[in-house]
Structure 1
Amino acid sequence: MVIAAREKKRLRDAVVRIAAASDARSLPLLERCISPLLRVSSSVYAAVVRARRMLYDAGIFRATRLPVPVVSVGNVTWGGNGKTPMAEFLAWCFVYAGINPIVLTRGYGGGDEARMLAKHFQGSPVRLGVGADRVKSALSILEQCGKLDTARRRSLAKLIDFGGNPPAWPRNSEIGVAILDDGMQHLRIARDVEIVMVNAVTLFGNERMIPWGPLREPLDSLRRAQVIVVHHANLVSTERLGAIVSILEGHLDGSKPVFAFSEMAPQQFFCPSQDRSLALSSVEGAVVVCISGVGCPDSMSLCLVQLGASEVHRLDYNDHHIFEAEDMVAMEDKILELKKSTREVVVAVTSEKDYLRHPQLWKRHEVLVLCSALKVINSRDFMDLLANTMAK
C-alpha cells in the first residue's frame, strides 16, 4: 500500500510538472513519454467540456434561475487561484452593506475550503450551503430564511464597499444574494456576474486541457467573464502584471471585462501547540520549512520570503492532501537536518487550509499556521459593477 501510494504521488507530481512546463523539451525523458497519453485524454476532456457548454447554450440543458442575484467566482485552471478567498471577501462586503449572502460550495477534497469558510463565518449572518447539488442547497436556505425584498436590496446596493468597513450585521435573516464558490463550471445555476480568477504566478502553464495541462476550460471561455481578477499580483513584478493583462486581452476577442488585482495579505501566525497568535515577524531571518498541500505552493513560499525568511525549504503535497503521521516524520526529519547545518532559527510553517484538515495532528508539533485574507487592489470598477448588479 505504501509503495502504491508513493507511485501514485510520483505520477501526480509528473503530471503537474508536465502541465507547468511551457517547453516540453525541458522535461525528463519519462515525462515526455507519457505526454502522448495525456494528450489523448486531454482531447476527450476538451470535447466533453465544449459539448456540455453547447447543450446549455442551446437550452437543451437548462440552468436554474434563483430568486436572488448570483455572483459566480471561478477559474479556467486547477487550484491556487484564490476562488474561495474571493468568495469569502465578497460575502463580507455584502454583509457590511446589509445584504445577507449564501455562499454555495461543493465541499470538494474532503471539504477543507468549506471547513475554513464555516470557521470564518461563525456567528455571522452568512449562510453556507455545502454539497454537490448547489441548486438544492440554495433553495433550501432560501425557503428557510426568505428572500430580501427587491426594493430593499436595491437601496442597499449603494453601500457595497471594498474598504473593509466594520461589521454591522443585517437585522433580518432574508437572503439578498448567492455566491457560487468555484462556479464557472457549475452551469446548473444561472449567474448575473461571472468572476474569473487568474493566478499571476503560474498563469496557464502549458495552456493545455486537463490532464495534459492545467486548463479546466478552453481559454476562449474568458470571454464569458464580466470581471477578471489577477490573483497573487503582489508576488510578481509590475512589468509581469502588464504582460499578463496583454495575454488575457489576446483571448477576449473584443469582450471588455473589468480587470482587477488581488493578493493574499498575511494577517498573523497561529501556533496550534500553544493555542496562541504570533506576529508576522516570527519568521524574520529564520530558515523556514514550508509544508503544504495547496493549489499553488509557489505563492506560499514567495510570501514567506516577503515576510523576511532567510531560506524556504519546501515540502509540497497535492492540493487537498490529507496529512498523516508519516508526513509529520518527514517534516521533523527536515527540521533536524537543517538545524545541524545552520545557526539560524528553523521554523515549520503550513497554511490555514492544511491545518484545518486535521487540527489535532498539527497540535502535536511545533508548527506555525499562516493565516491570510484576500485583499482587492484597483477595485473601483469591480465594486461599481457589483453595486449596479444588485441595484437591478
Structure 2
Amino acid sequence: MTERQATIWQKRLGPVLAPVGWTYSQIMAARSHAYRRGFFSRWRAPKPVISAGNISWGGTGKTPICSFILSWAEEKSLRPALLTRGYGGRTGALPLLVDPTCPAGECGDEPLVLAREHPDSLVVVDPVRSRAGQWALARHEPDFFVLDDGFQHLAMVRDLDLVLLAGDDLGPGWNRVQPRGTWREGVSALDRATAFLVNVTGSEQGPVIEASRARLGNTGKPVFLFRLSIQGLENLADGRISPGPEGRYWLVTAVARPQRVAGAVREAFGRSPERHVILPDHAVLNASTIDSIRGEAGRDGVSELVCTSKDAVKIEHGREAFRVLRTETIFQSLDDGPEFRAWLDKWWERI
C-alpha cells in the first residue's frame, strides 16, 4: 500500500477508526506511565544516551539525523555506538556489529548506510537496545550511545530525547493515532521530548514553519528545522559525481515517504523524473526486480535510474544504471533559537 492509498482509506474510515486510535493512544500513555513509575525495568547506561525518534511511523529523516550526530561525534574525536533495530535485516546472531561489507539483507538497509558512512563509529543491530548497549560497553567502550528510532523504546533511559516530525505531522495528521493516522502515540507523549526537529525536505517551508510555531512554539522546548539538500549524483558503478541527470531519468524509491524524495529531486534538478517507481519501504532490490525496472526504462528510452543511499546499499546487480542521491543535512532554527550544532555542543559540555 502506498502512502497516498493509506491516506485515502484512513480518510474514508475516519469515523470508525477514530475511537480505535483513541484507545490505542490511551494504552500507549499507560505504558509510558508504567515506565515512569518503575513498574517496568529500565537500563541506565553509564555513558550519555541520545535518542532520535518519531511520534509517527517512519519517513521523518532519522537516518540523516543519526548520521549527522555520528559525524558531529567524529569531529570531536568521540566514538559513539548507534543502537538500532535493523528493519529489513534477518540476522540470526544478536547483537550484530555491522561491518561495511555486511549484506543489507542480514543487517538492514539503514544500519548498513550508517556503517559505510561512518566506519569509525559502532553500529549495532538488536531489537533489545539495552542488550546491545551492554554488549558494546563490554567490548568496545563507546563514549556515548545513539538510539535510532528510540522515542518509544522506553526500556533504556536517555539523556537527550530528539523527536522528529514531518509537515504532515504538524498539519492534518496532528494527533491522529494509528489506525486513524500515522502517530504511534497521542500528543501527550511529546512532553517526553527534549527538543523537536522538523523535516521540511520537499515541502513548502512557509506553511510548515507556521505550523511548527503553532503546534510547538509554546512547549518551551527548542525547535529546529532541517532539510536534505541534494548535492549531486554518484554513479553507483564507478563513484563518479555529477551535478544531476544527463538526460531523461526515472526515480526508484523503497522508502517510507517517497513523495518527499520526489519533491526534493524535482527542486534540485529543476525537472521531475519521467517516472517514479515506488516500492514498499525496505523492499528487497534483487536481480529480477532490477532487471524488470531496467527493461521498462530502456523501452522508454531512459538509461539513468536515480535512487537514495538507503536503496543503493541493496543493489548488487545492474549497478551501472543507478545514480545515488548525495545529500547534506541543512539546519535552520525556528525564529531566534540556537543553531542545532551549537545547541548540541552546549549539551555535551554540560553532560
User: 2:177 aligns to what?
Assistant: 209
Residue matched to 1:351 = 308
Aligned mates of 1:204, 1:334 — CA distance in 2: 37
- How has the CA–CA distance of structure 1 residues 112 and 38 changed in structure 2, closer, same or farther, with 3 Å as cutoff? farther
Q: Secondary structure at the match of 1:290?
A: strand
User: What per-residue deviation string (whole Å, max 9, x for no partner) do you get for residues 294-336 of structure 1?
Assistant: 0111121112212225332211122111124553355235424
Q: Does 1:235 align with 2:195?
A: no
Q: Deviations over 1:78-128 (max 9, x none)?
A: 111111211111111122112221111111122111111111112x2x122
Distance 1:381 1:307, change over 3 A: closer
Which residue is 2:118 aligned to?
121
Moved segments of 4+, more than 6 Å: none
- Mapping 1:214-363, distance limit 5 Å: 214-231=182-199, 233-249=200-216, 254-272=218-236, 274-283=237-246, 286-312=247-273, 313-332=275-294, 334-336=296-298, 338-339=300-301, 347-357=304-314, 359-363=315-319
Mapped to 1, the partners of 2:299 and 2:210 lie a distance apart of 40
Summarize the alignment of residues 168-207 of structure 1 with structure 2, pairs less than 5 Å apart: 175-200=142-167, 203=170, 205-207=172-174
CA shift at 1:212, angstroms? 2.8
String of CA shifts for 1:46-67, please: whole Å, max 9, x gaps: 3331221121122111321110
Instruction: Give the counterpart of 1:65 among 37, 44, 49.
Output: 44
CA distance in 1, matches of 2:169, 2:317: 30
SS at match of 1:361: coil
- Retained in 1: the 8 A contact 2:332–2:339? no
Q: Which residue of 1 aligns with 2:75?
A: 96
Instruction: Give the residue type in structure 2 aligned to 1:260.
Output: F
- Asked if the contact 1:289/1:335 (under 8 Å) is kept, the reply is yes
Alignment of 1:389 onto 2:350: no
What's the offset of the Cα at 1:242?
2.6
Query: Equivalent residue of 2:185, what SS?
Result: coil
In structure 2, what is the equivalent of residue 166 of structure 1? none
TM-score by length of 2: 0.83
Structure 1 residues 367 and 65 mapped into 2: Cα distance closer, same or farther (>3 Å)?
Answer: same
1:361 counterpart letter in structure 2: H
Q: Where do 5+ consecutive residues of structure 2 fail to align? A: 90-107
Deviation at 1:350, TM superposition (A): 1.3
Amino acid across the alignment from 1:383: R
The aligned amino acid for 1:375 is: I
Contact 1:270 1:369 in 2 (8 A): yes
- Write the letter of the residue equivalent to 1:213: G
The structural deviation recorded for 1:269 is 1.8
Gap change, CA 1:241 and 1:36, over 3 Å in 2 = closer
The aligned counterpart of 2:93 is: none
Contact 1:63 1:190 (8 Å CA) reproduced: yes
Task: Say what the alpha-carbon RMSD is for the aligned residues.
Answer: 2.7
Cα distance change of structure 1 residues 22 and 246 upon mapping to structure 2, 3 Å threshold: farther
In the TM superposition, what is the alpha-carbon distance from 1:373 to its structure 2 partner? 3.5
Counting aligned pairs with the same residue, the percent is 24
Structure 1: distance between partners of 2:56 and 2:229: 22
Secondary structure of the 2:316 match is helix
What amino acid does structure 2 have at the position aligned with 1:67?
P
Q: Tell me how far apart the structure 1 counterparts of residues 208 and 20 of structure 2 sit (CA, whole Å).
A: 32
Question: Can you list the C-alpha shifts for 1:238-281, whole angstroms capped at 9, x where unaligned?
Answer: 4213322134227xxx5311111111122432223x32223123
For residues 130 and 266 of structure 2, the distance between their equivalents in structure 1, rounded to whole angstroms, comes to 42
Separation (CA, whole Å) in 2 of partners of 1:318 and 1:101: 31
Q: Is 1:17 aligned with 2:4?
A: yes
Q: In the alignment, residue 315 of structure 1 is paired with which amino acid? A: V
Query: 42-51 or 313-322: which moved more?
Result: 42-51
Contact 2:17 2:179 in 1 (8 A): yes
Partner of 1:56: 35
| Amino acid in structure 2 at the alignment position of 1:321 | A
Give the match's secondary structure for 2:27.
helix
Q: Give the structure with the higher percent helix.
A: 1
Q: Name the SS of the counterpart of 1:371 in structure 2.
A: strand
Instruction: Assess if the C-alpha contact under 8 Å between 2:331 and 2:340 holds in 1.
Output: no
Q: Distance in 1 between matches of 2:310 and 2:145?
A: 23
Alignment partners' CA distance in 2, 1:294 and 1:360: 18
* Cα distance in 1 between the residues matched to 2:168 and 2:251: 18
Structure 1 residue ranges without an equivalent (≥5): 1-11, 25-31, 147-174, 340-344
Q: State the Cα distance separating 1:371 from its structure 2 match.
A: 2.6
Query: What residue is the counterpart of 2:99 in the other structure?
Result: none
Contact 1:266/1:370 (8 A) holds in 2: yes
Please state how far the C-alpha of 1:76 moved relative to its aligned partner.
0.6
Task: Tell me how far 1:190 sits from its aligned partner.
Answer: 0.7
